[in-house]
């Protein structure tokens, strides 16, 4: 069984970042709610527990607690910020609202680099964000480090293996933060660091085999990272029991269908059904301009086509047809946050969703993984960098970037324009730094002049944003020379385009997509 460290969630963003840092230390981490009981913890038999930071004060009304039974289990515990204050408060030390809480950069002083802070320099930069301050420790604990505002910035009780830090070791601004986490994981918890990308693959392959047995499995490929990595993992596990389906809606990025063919059919020799359904999508979308109506049409038609393929393969017939469907669900989508709601699920992100009346069981080989792990696993499995590092792409594809009516002609213009934008962004070395960068085709034409003639053609809007999670985004300050190259090429190379504009709207108030 994989060794696990539990991250107790007192503030979702903090907990996710800690969980990722633990994984970077090659230790498997799982996020759990703060109301987890000692019995539930014991049942998971973790090798260590980390209490996250959070916005509360231990004196706040209804402030989240830790089941006191958990500190008695003998499992090593590290409290971070609020987590550290909570440990001190519950174990009999003192936490004060001194009004001297520290925010931002601070200097950590380590008088003797021992124990959790072994090999720490005498002084190093750390990142604080706390309102309360630990001023007295519980029996057995000693102070290990301080900052100007926090006399007890790090403490430890080596016998009980209970530690706390007021600073945030998980953020990059804390220069030796990762060292502290690794010291806790590798020495205090005595974990070797066995959660590697190779071991993730091995574990998932075994789990998939055990789940599906000899049954057949279907997977819808979208061209995106998640479905590609999920399919490659499942294929590694069960080979030709897997059939992949790629539905070309006519609204994909340029070359996407060919790339899926080249990768899955040729390189991995996956049984791939490539449905060229462009005409059906353009017919269904004719005359439709309302954004949500377009989304709905694209989503429903996708599912209908997928169902047709599944039925042809014998799904739902009871004998020999596919029983399982692969979904590329990731860990952040399944974590229950402290508030009890599953985080980050967006109702409109449903293209490629489940055909309702076909009775599939789900195979979700990525549901334990963060996005960076999915990419690393994809690379390890030999998927091309172009797929592994692809920016997110909406389910309805170019359909939500062609403003107004979607026609074959307009889809072709936008696909060609998008390819130019992406090509220049890649050449400038910016592709992986941007959350998304693409072209938008509005529903107006404007007058221009080319050579001796007047033109009346479409503008293209360049949309490029930076973001961490798509919930908020900032428009990217692309260098002028990159914008210039994109503009020149769009007008020279893409028929039907005579003008280029740049979208300088952040989210909010804008959304990333135009529809
Ligand atoms: P917005 O435009 O809401 O987009 O700022 C946020 C993120 O979601 C993607 N997006 C979609 N993804 N189906 C999807 O699968 C959709 O209908 C859809 N609409 C937006 C968008 O690309 C961005 O990453």
For the stretch 117-164, pLDDT in tens is: 999 999 999 999 878 999 999 999 999 999 998 999 999 999 999 999
Atom 6 of ligand 1 has which residue's CA nearest to it?
A: 470
Q: What phi-psi label fits residue 284: left (phi over 0), alpha (psi between -120 and 50 degrees) or beta?
A: alpha
Return the number of other C-beta atoms located less than 10 Å from residue 290's C-beta. Answer: 11
Identify the residues whose C-beta falls under 6 Å from ligand 1: 295, 348-349, 351, 392, 394-396, 400, 436, 470, 507, 511-513
Query: Which residues of 42-157 form beta strands (DSSP E)?
Result: 48-51, 77-80, 94-96, 103-109, 123-129, 133-136, 142-145, 154-157
Q: What spacing in Å lies between the alpha carbon of 513 and ligand 1's midpoint?
A: 6
Instruction: Check whether 339 has a pLDDT greater than 60.
Output: no
Please tell me the predicted confidence (pLDDT) of residue 510.
96
Mutational test site, ligand 1, from 476, 503, 513, max ligand atoms within 8 Å of CB: 513
Ligand 1, atom 18: closest residue by C-alpha: 394
The preferred substitution site among 349, 466, 473, 514 for testing ligand 1, maximizing ligand atoms within 8 Å of CB, is: 349
Q: CA 75 to CA 77: how far, in whole Å?
A: 6
User: Do 197-388 and 401-502 agree at the fold level?
Assistant: no
Closest to 261 (Cα-Cα) out of 278, 248, 250: 248
Q: Which residues are catalytic?
A: 81, 168, 170
Cα–ligand 1 centroid distance for 469 (angstroms): 11
pLDDT number for residue 338: 44
Q: Which long-range contacts (CB under 8 A, 24 or more apart) does 310-316 make?
A: 310/218, 310/245, 310/355, 310/358, 311/358, 313/216, 313/218, 313/243, 315/218, 315/358, 315/360, 316/357, 316/358, 316/359
CA 308 / ligand 1 centre spacing (Å)? 26
Q: Write down the pLDDT at residue 365.
A: 97
The CA 480 to ligand 1 mean position distance, Å, reads 27
CA distance 423 to 437: 10
Task: State in Å: Cα 265 to ligand 1 middle.
Answer: 29
Q: How confident is the model at residue 336 (pLDDT cuts 50, 70, 90)?
A: low
From 344, 392, 394, 400, the mutation candidate for ligand 1 (largest count of ligand atoms within 8 A of CB) is 394
State how far the alpha carbon of 226 is from the alpha carbons of 108, 233, 270, 371, in Å: 40, 11, 17, 8
Q: Which amino acid residue places its CA nearest to atom 22 of ligand 1?
A: 394
Burial of 480 (0-12, 13-18, 19+ CB in 10 A): exposed
Pocket test for ligand 1, best of 435, 470, 476, 505 (most atoms within 8 A of CB): 470
pLDDT band (50, 70, 90) for residue 337: very low
Q: Would you state the structure tokens that stand for residue 239, as one six-digit string?
A: 């080979």
Atom of ligand 1 nearest to the CA of 514: 2
Place of tokens 């070797």: 192
pLDDT digits (tens, 9 = 90+) for 434-451: 999 999 999 999 999 988
Cα(360) to centroid of ligand 1, in Å? 26
Residue 101 confidence (pLDDT): 65
Distance (Å, whole) CA 225 – CA 240: 21
Domain range list for the chain: 4-188, 197-388, 401-502
Residue nearest to atom 21 of ligand 1 (CA): 394
Q: Which atom of ligand 1 is nearest to the CA of 395?
A: 15
In terms of CATH, what superfamily is 197-388?
Answer: HUPs (3.40.50.620)
Q: Give the closest residue to 372 by CA, choosing from 20, 27, 29, 15.
A: 20
Measured from the CA of 435, which atom of ligand 1 is nearest? 24
Q: What is the pLDDT of residue 351?
A: 43
Categorize the per-residue pLDDT at 353 as very low, low, confident or very high, splitting at 50, 70 and 90. low
Predicted pLDDT of residue 350: 41
Under CATH, which number does the domain 4-188 receive? 3.40.50.880
The backbone torsions φ and ψ at residue 204, rounded to the nearest 5 degrees and listed phi first, read -65, -40
> Is pLDDT at 54 greater than 70 in this prediction?
yes
With a cut of 90, say whether residue 320 has pLDDT above it: no
Q: Specify the residue with its C-alpha closest to ligand 1, atom 4.
A: 512
pLDDT 10s digits, 468-500: 889 999 999 999 999 999 999 999 999 999 999
Q: Which residue owns the Cα nearest ligand 1 atom 7?
A: 470
Tell the residue nearest (CA) to atom 19 of ligand 1. Answer: 394
What's 401-502's CATH class?
alpha beta
Give the distance (Å) from ligand 1 centre to CA of residue 352. 14
Distance 512 CA to ligand 1 centre (A): 7
From the alpha carbon of 348, which atom of ligand 1 is closest? Answer: 17
Nearest residue (CA) to ligand 1, atom 20:
394
% of residues, the chain, pLDDT over 70: 95
Q: How confident is the model at residue 98 (pLDDT cuts 50, 70, 90)?
A: confident
């Amino acid at each position: 069984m994989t060794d696990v460290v539990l991250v107790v969630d007192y503030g979702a963003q903090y907990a996710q970042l800690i969980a990722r840092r633990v994984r970077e230390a090659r230790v498997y981490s799982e996020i759990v709610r703060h109301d987890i009981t000692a019995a539930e913890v014991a049942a998971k038999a973790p090798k260590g527990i980390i209490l996250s930071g959070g916005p509360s004060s231990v004196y706040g009304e209804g402030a989240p607690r830790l089941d006191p039974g958990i500190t008695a289990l003998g499992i090593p515990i590290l409290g971070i910020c609020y987590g550290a204050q909570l440990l001190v408060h519950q174990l009999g030390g003192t936490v004060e609202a001194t009004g001297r809480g520290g925010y931002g950069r601070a200097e950590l002083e380590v008088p003797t680099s021992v124990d959790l802070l072994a090999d720490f320099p005498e002084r190093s930069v750390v990142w604080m964000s706390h309102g309360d301050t630990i001023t007295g420790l519980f029996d057995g604990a000693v102070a290990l480090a301080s900052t100007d505002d926090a006399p007890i910035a790090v403490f430890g009780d080596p016998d009980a293996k209970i530690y706390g830090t007021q600073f945030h070791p998980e953020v990059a601004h804390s220069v030796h933060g990762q060292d502290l986490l690794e010291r806790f994981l590798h020495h205090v918890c005595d974990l070797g660091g066995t959660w590697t990308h190779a071991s993730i693959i091995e574990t998932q392959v075994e789990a998939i085999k055990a789940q599906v047995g000899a049954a057949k499995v279907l997977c819808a490929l979208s061209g995106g990272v998640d479905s590609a990595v999920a399919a490659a993992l499942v294929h590694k596990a069960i080979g030709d029991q897997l059939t992949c389906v790629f539905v070309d809606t006519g609204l994909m990025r340029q070359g996407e269908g060919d790339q899926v063919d080249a990768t899955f059919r040729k390189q991995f020799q996956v049984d791939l059904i490539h449905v060229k359904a462009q005409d059906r999508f353009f017919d269904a979308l004719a005359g439709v301009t309302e954004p949500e109506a377009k989304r709905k049409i694209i989503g429903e038609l996708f599912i209908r086509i997928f169902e047709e393929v599944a039925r042809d393969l014998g799904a739902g017939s009871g004998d020999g047809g596919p029983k399982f469907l692969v979904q590329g669900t990731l860990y952040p989508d399944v974590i229950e946050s402290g508030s009890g709601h599953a985080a980050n699920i967006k109702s409109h992100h449903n293209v490629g969703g489940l055909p309702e009346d076909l009775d599939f069981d789900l195979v979700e080989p990525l549901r334990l993984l963060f996005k960076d792990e999915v990419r690393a696993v994809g690379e390890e499995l030999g998927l091309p960098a172009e797929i592994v590092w692809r920016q997110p792409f909406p389910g309805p594809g170019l359909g939500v970037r062609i403003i107004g009516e979607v026609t074959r002609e307009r889809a072709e213009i936008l696909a060609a324009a998008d390819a130019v934008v992406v090509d220049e962004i890649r050449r400038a070395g910016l592709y992986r730094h941007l959350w998304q960068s693409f072209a938008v085709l509005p529903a107006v034409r404007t007058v221009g002049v080319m050579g001796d003639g007047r033109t009346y053609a479409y503008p293209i809007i360049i949309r490029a944003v930076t973001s961490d999670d798509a919930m908020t985004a900032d428009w990217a300050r692309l260098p002028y020379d990159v914008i210039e190259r994109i503009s020149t090429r769009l007008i020279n190379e893409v028929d039907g385009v005579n003008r280029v504009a740049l979208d300088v709207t952040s989210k909010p108030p804008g959304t990333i997509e135009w529809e």
